[in-house]
Amino acid sequence: MLLVNIVYILLLLPGVISRHRSTIKITHSPITLPIAKRINATGIMKFVEADRARARALVHMVKMRGAGFTVRARSLTCPPREPAPAPAIPATNGLVQYTASVGVGSPASQFSLVIDTGSSNTWVGATKKFVKTSTSVQTSNRVAVTYGSGSFSGTEFTDRVTLSSTLVINNQGIGVASASSGFDEGVDGILGLGPTDLTLDTLSPATSTLIPTVIDNLFAQGTIPSRLVAISFEPTNSETITNGEITFGGIDSSKFTGAITFVPITTTSPANEFWGINQSVRYGTSTTILSTTAGIVDTGTVLLLLATNAITAYKKASGAVLDNTTGLLRLTTAQFAALQSLFFTIGGTTFELTANAQAWPRNLNADIGGTANNVYLIVGDLGTPSGEGLDFINGQTFIERFYTVFDTTNNRVGFATTPFTTATTN
Ligand SMILES: *[C@@H]1O[C@H](CO)[C@@H](O)[C@H](O)[C@H]1NC(C)=O
Ligand SMILES: *[C@@H]1O[C@H](CO)[C@@H](O)[C@H](O)[C@H]1NC(C)=O
Ligand SMILES: *[C@@H]1O[C@H](CO)[C@@H](O)[C@H](O)[C@H]1NC(C)=O
């Protein structure tokens, strides 16, 4: 087991921002929260399997919502589920997680919650027990969510949620787990940063009720000027490298270089239910890996997952083979020396994922059951062909190289290069 706990700097950029056509003054914005990265490579599921399970759950959840799905269709396509309602929303795979310490109640208890842009319920209690305080209000609803490789069910409360001293949310809907599976010791639940619609059907009996997310409430309560979250992850190859931060309601210009390219949320289903975008992927100067298509950006997925046909093209171009010990694609060191960049074209801007950025941290080869002389790749097979409306997932290993902005207010996602985009870390 490898546990990477990294110390972050809490950065508060002072400033006064007044909201357009509003008298509400924002005293601190952007407001940032440190994020810890945690790697548990002893998990039973390998990265690829776990990431794929999440991808399947994600597509499945959207299909289940479509009209006309019969019970029979459900039983044919669904893995076993908890008693309804428990829509299969994908979440973290438990192997590599970015977590933030979040306070709940008054006085607040601190919970270590997974930063997840692929699901939207915020909940606690997987490991550490929730204790009612003066701000805790139990609702009459049960809450349940099934994730790609885990689940939780319990009771929906509203409570005070404290992200930092200046970032306090009153009456936030939170789930309090009475049962959960797939969450490691020390991980207490999820901070859901996905679109609000993903909370649909998670409550019972109030199935059609949406639960405003932490972003919705921070905005509604006048704490942040815009429904926007920006995330900085950084690559790591040891236990001592500084890692990430999340900024609420603004961007942290110290974390990226150049301009941010914004692209609208894709119109293609099911990617449009998440932080979905259109992009194309090229290998080297001219080899098409994936023609322009829809997929998602997701902090709860570890790898960069591409549709099976794209992976076939990538293997052919790079010489990579599937390593059946780790489940990852593998190169010899000679092949790695010749590996070319992947170029992602998003919203007219091309982002270069260098050869170095395509490698799993070599210092951590042993942790995934690999051998020192091989190079394992963080590009993996999504498990479905392209053309299905969700043909890639730009997961943590992508976000670690590009600053990412999740902008609910303007229905768009932004990317920018960072000092780590072209860094040699592997
Ligand atoms: C790591 O994952 C394994 C398998 O899922 C689990 O049994 C173990 O408790 C985890 N370790 C920690 C520290 O959470
Ligand atoms: C994304 O791609 C789809 C399919 O090619 C296209 O219909 C759509 O206009 C593109 N742009 C957006 C923002 O969805
Ligand atoms: C892994 O690969 C080796 C050699 O390529 C093969 O002999 C072995 O059967 C494979 N194991 C599995 C579990 O596929």
Neighbouring-strand partners of residue 262: 414
> Looking at the domain assignment, is residue 320 inside a domain?
yes
> Looking at the domain assignment, is residue 321 inside a domain?
yes
Please check whether residues 310 and 244 belong to one and the same domain.
Answer: no
Contact 190, 123 (CB under 8 A): yes
Residue tagged 């002893």 (tokens) = 42
Q: What is the domain extent for residue 110?
A: 31-57+78-248
Range with lowest mean pLDDT among 20-24, 40-44, 170-174: 20-24
Please check whether residues 266 and 168 belong to one and the same domain.
Answer: no
Which domain-ending residue is among 248, 271, 301? 248
Q: Does the annotation mark 184 as catalytic?
A: no
Provide the pLDDT confidence category of residue 359 given band limits of 50, 70 and 90.
Answer: very high
Per-residue pLDDT of 325-344, as tens digits, reads: 888 999 999 999 999 999 99
Instruction: Give me the pLDDT at residue 40, please.
Output: 64
> Looking at the domain assignment, is residue 172 inside a domain?
yes
Residue nearest to atom 5 of ligand 2 (CA): 293
Please check whether residues 176 and 311 belong to one and the same domain.
Answer: no
How far from 201 is each of 61, 70, 113, 153, CA to CA, in Å?
Answer: 10, 16, 22, 13
Instruction: Give me the pLDDT at residue 41, please.
Output: 57
Please check whether residues 228 and 327 belong to one and the same domain.
Answer: no
Question: What phi, psi does 197 have (nearest 5°)?
Answer: -55, -25
- What is the C-alpha separation between 289 and 308, in angstroms, rounded? 10
Range with lowest mean pLDDT among 51-65, 112-126, 151-165, 332-346: 51-65
Per the residue annotation, which of 51, 116, 159, 367 is the catalytic one? 116
Contact 92, 116 (CB under 8 A): yes
Which domain-ending residue is among 199, 216, 248? 248
Please check whether residues 239 and 289 belong to one and the same domain.
Answer: no
Which of 38, 185, 187, 368 is the best mutation target for the ligand 1 pocket, counting ligand atoms within 8 Å of the beta carbon and taking the most?
A: 185
Residue nearest to atom 3 of ligand 2 (CA): 268
Instruction: Give me the pLDDT at residue 95, please.
Output: 60
Per-residue pLDDT of 18-37, as tens digits, reads: 333 332 222 334 566 777 77
- What is the C-alpha separation between 356 and 94, in angstroms, rounded? 25
Which of 38, 39, 40, 95 is the best mutation target for the ligand 1 pocket, counting ligand atoms within 8 Å of the beta carbon and taking the most?
A: 40
> Looking at the domain assignment, is residue 190 inside a domain?
yes
Range with lowest mean pLDDT among 114-118, 190-194, 366-370: 366-370
Q: Does the annotation mark 407 as catalytic?
A: no
Please check whether residues 302 and 239 belong to one and the same domain.
Answer: no
> Looking at the domain assignment, is residue 8 inside a domain?
no
Total domains present in the chain: 2
Amino acid at 186: G
> Looking at the domain assignment, is residue 25 inside a domain?
no
Q: Calculate the average pLDDT of the chain.
A: 82
Q: Give the DSSP H/E element, type plus range, for residue 342.
A: strand 342-346
- What is the C-alpha separation between 98 and 395, in angstroms, rounded? 12
Instruction: Give me the pLDDT at residue 228, please.
Output: 93
Please check whether residues 319 and 236 belong to one and the same domain.
Answer: no
Q: What is the DSSP letter of 359?
A: B
CATH number at residue 198: 2.40.70.10
Please check whether residues 171 and 261 belong to one and the same domain.
Answer: no
Which domain-ending residue is among 203, 222, 248? 248
Q: How far is the CA of 325 from the centre of ligand 3 (A)?
A: 8
Q: How far is the CA of 289 from the centre of ligand 2 (A)?
A: 18
Provide the pLDDT confidence category of residue 63 given band limits of 50, 70 and 90.
Answer: low
Q: Is the pLDDT at 258 greater than 80, yes or no?
A: yes
Please check whether residues 375 and 352 belong to one and the same domain.
Answer: yes
Reported pTM: 0.84
Question: What phi, psi does 63 have (nearest 5°)?
Answer: -60, -40
